Structure formats: structure tokens, C-alpha cells
């Protein structure tokens, strides 16, 4: 197994982003510049020289252990370093260092609290809670905001716990709208698109016009308005807000 002999200051886990991939029974790593992996995956960065700290496949970057040619051949079916590096970049798992993990953890916690704040209200006054108040309530319930689940799933779990325990008066909130649209449009693609954005249909009537009283998630309101404005900004329908924060007692708990 090859070893690159270089001063430890050249490769430090605090200054390098590792991308790791298991292929067969072997594990391979590449050393990348921080934040460049996502740029490469989204197509913002195409130059591998700007992404890689060392254009080499390793089995252990921190120890400078280069992947043997035999292992590459057995695992990838070839020894073309560029192709193997590209595969690891696209499919490998990004290994975060402690500072990056802490930053990601803080970002996730903030996102969870924002989701809860945007989707819930105090049922007594229909006002939303600040993220600070929500965080304090969850702390009192000993709810762990950190974890491996997606932030939306963790937010959903937190909302269920908050609505069950009522440490603070809290309920899921939705907007109540009246949407009107010519029947020909309601039966077509536009109508299908709008129905996908509607959470619960309370009442609907169709004659020359389609009229629908419904509940929606607040974040869907803007998109509904854009669709009703038409492609050429020529209104094809109308939306009226009947209530900004409705407590949907019988609605589901999907985010």
C-alpha cells in the first residue's frame, strides 16, 4: 500500500472535506476543499482542480494511505483515477469535521424551529410563536432537536409532541381561502395544479365558474396566487383569504 510522506500541516481534517465511498468491501476517500463538493454536484464548479486538494484516491486521507491499484481494479473494474474520483464525488458521502458538523447542526435546529413557527399558532389568539418560545417549550419536554432524520420529519415529531403536551397552547394552522376560476380552466391543467396545492376542500360549486372554499398550508398561498395571475400576468381567476389562521381539528399531520 502506497504512502504519501508529507508534513502533517499539509493535510488537516479541520481544513479538508473528505468524501468517502464504500465499493465492494473496500472504503475509498478523496480530499476536497471545503464547500466545493456541493458546488461540483450542482454543476456550479466543473474544474476538478478547484475541488480536489490532492488528485488521488486514498483508503485513509489523514494517514496519507493511497488506494492500491489492485483494490481500485477489483472495486471499480478499472484504475482510471479521474473516473473513480468523479464517481466518488458524485455518489460518496461527505464527511464533516467537527466545526462543519456543529454549523450544520445549528442550521438544522434553526430550520426545525422555523418550520414549527410557520405551521403552528396559539389557538386562543391565532398568533404565531417565536422560535425562542418554541425552543424553550421543547427543552422543557426534553425533546432532542438533533438527529439523523430530515428536518421536516423532526419538526413533525416536535409538533405532535407540542400539541399533545400543550406546554404552550399550540395547534396546527392553515389558511382558509375561496378560489374562483372559470370552469373550463378548473377542468384543465390549471385546476389540477391548484388541487394539488389544496390541503382540504371544505365546499365547492361548479357552474360557469368553479368556486372552492378550502384550507391550505400557508406557504402554498403565494404559488396559488401566481398560478391565478396567469402566464402573461393576466388574471384567470381570483383568490380571497377568508381566515389567516384556521385550526384544522380533523386535518392530517403531514408537513
Give the model confidence (pLDDT) of 205-237 as tens digits: 988 999 999 999 888 888 999 999 876 667 889
The mean pLDDT of 175-194, rounded to a whole number, is 92
Q: Does 181 lie in the same domain as 157?
A: no
3-class secondary structure per residue, 92-139 = CEEECCHHHHHHHHHHHHHHHHHHHHHHEECCCCCCCCCHHHHHHHHH
Give the model confidence (pLDDT) of 232-254 as tens digits: 667 889 999 998 777 655 444 44
Block residue for cell numbers 476543499: 33
In a domain, 68, yes or no: yes
The mean pLDDT of 147-165, rounded to a whole number, is 89
The whole-number pLDDT of residue 11 equals 41
The mean pLDDT of 7-16, rounded to a whole number, is 46
Give the mean pLDDT of the chain: 85
The whole-number pLDDT of residue 251 equals 43
Answer whether residue 198 shows pLDDT above 70.
yes
Give the model confidence (pLDDT) of 93-129 as tens digits: 888 767 777 787 888 999 999 999 988 989 888 888 9
Q: Does 16 lie in the same domain as 91?
A: yes
Q: Does 44 lie in the same domain as 120?
A: no
Label residue 134 by pLDDT band (50, 70, 90): very high
What distance in Å separates the CA atoms of residue 235 and residue 227, rounded to the nearest whole number?
Answer: 9
The mean pLDDT of 141-170, rounded to a whole number, is 90
The whole-number pLDDT of residue 141 equals 94
The whole-number pLDDT of residue 105 equals 85
Answer whether residue 133 shows pLDDT above 60.
yes
In a domain, 147, yes or no: yes
The whole-number pLDDT of residue 124 equals 85
Give the model confidence (pLDDT) of 37-67 as tens digits: 888 888 888 888 889 998 999 999 888 899 9
The whole-number pLDDT of residue 8 equals 35
Q: Nearest to residue 180, comparing CAs of 199, 208, 202?
A: 208
CATH at residue 179 = 3.30.70.240
pLDDT above 90 coverage of the chain, percent: 47
Q: Does 79 lie in the same domain as 107?
A: no
In a domain, 196, yes or no: yes
CATH at residue 157 = 1.10.10.900
Question: Are the C-beta atoms of residues 34 and 15 closer than 8 Å to each other?
Answer: yes
The whole-number pLDDT of residue 212 equals 94
Which residue among 136, 169, 202 closes a domain?
169
What distance in Å separates the CA atoms of residue 179 and residue 198, rounded to the nearest whole number?
Answer: 10
The whole-number pLDDT of residue 84 equals 94
Answer whether residue 3 shows pLDDT above 80.
no
In a domain, 254, yes or no: no
Question: Are the C-beta atoms of residues 30 and 18 closer than 8 Å to each other?
Answer: yes
What distance in Å separates the CA atoms of residue 102 and residue 105, rounded to the nearest whole number?
Answer: 5
The whole-number pLDDT of residue 14 equals 46
pTM attached to this predicted model: 0.53
In a domain, 161, yes or no: yes
In a domain, 158, yes or no: yes
Which residue among 43, 67, 95 closes a domain?
95
CATH at residue 80 = 3.30.1250.10
In a domain, 253, yes or no: no
In a domain, 211, yes or no: yes
Domain of residue 146, residue span: 98-169
Amino acid at each position: 500500500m502506497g504512502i504519501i510522506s508529507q508534513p502533517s500541516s499539509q493535510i488537516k481534517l479541520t481544513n479538508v472535506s473528505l468524501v468517502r465511498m464504500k465499493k465492494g468491501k473496500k472504503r475509498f476517500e478523496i480530499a476536497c476543499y471545503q464547500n466545493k463538493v456541493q458546488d461540483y454536484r450542482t454543476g456550479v464548479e466543473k474544474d476538478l482542480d478547484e475541488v480536489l486538494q490532492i488528485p488521488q484516491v486514498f483508503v485513509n486521507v489523514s494517514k496519507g494511505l493511497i488506494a492500491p491499484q489492485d483494490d481500485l481494479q477489483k472495486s471499480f473494474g478499472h484504475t482510471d483515477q479521474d473516473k473513480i474520483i468523479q464517481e466518488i464525488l458524485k455518489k460518496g458521502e461527505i464527511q464533516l469535521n467537527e466545526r462543519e458538523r456543529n454549523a450544520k447542526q445549528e442550521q438544522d435546529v434553526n430550520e426545525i424551529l422555523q418550520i414549527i413557527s410557520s405551521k403552528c399558532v396559539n389557538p386562543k389568539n391565532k398568533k404565531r410563536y417565536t422560535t425562542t418560545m418554541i425552543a424553550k417549550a421543547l427543552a422543557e419536554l426534553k425533546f432532542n432537536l438533533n438527529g439523523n432524520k430530515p428536518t421536516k420529519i423532526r419538526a413533525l415529531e416536535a409538533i405532535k409532541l407540542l400539541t399533545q403536551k400543550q406546554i404552550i397552547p399550540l395547534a396546527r394552522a392553515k389558511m382558509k381561502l375561496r378560489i374562483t376560476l372559470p370552469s373550463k380552466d378548473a377542468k384543465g391543467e390549471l385546476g389540477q395544479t391548484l388541487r394539488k396545492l389544496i390541503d382540504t376542500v371544505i365546499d365547492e360549486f361548479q357552474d360557469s365558474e368553479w368556486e372552492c372554499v378550502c384550507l391550505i398550508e400557508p406557504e402554498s398561498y403565494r404559488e396559488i396566487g401566481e398560478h391565478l395571475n396567469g402566464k402573461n400576468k393576466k388574471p384567470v381567476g381570483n383568490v380571497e383569504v377568508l381566515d389567516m389562521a384556521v385550526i384544522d381539528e380533523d386535518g392530517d399531520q403531514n408537513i
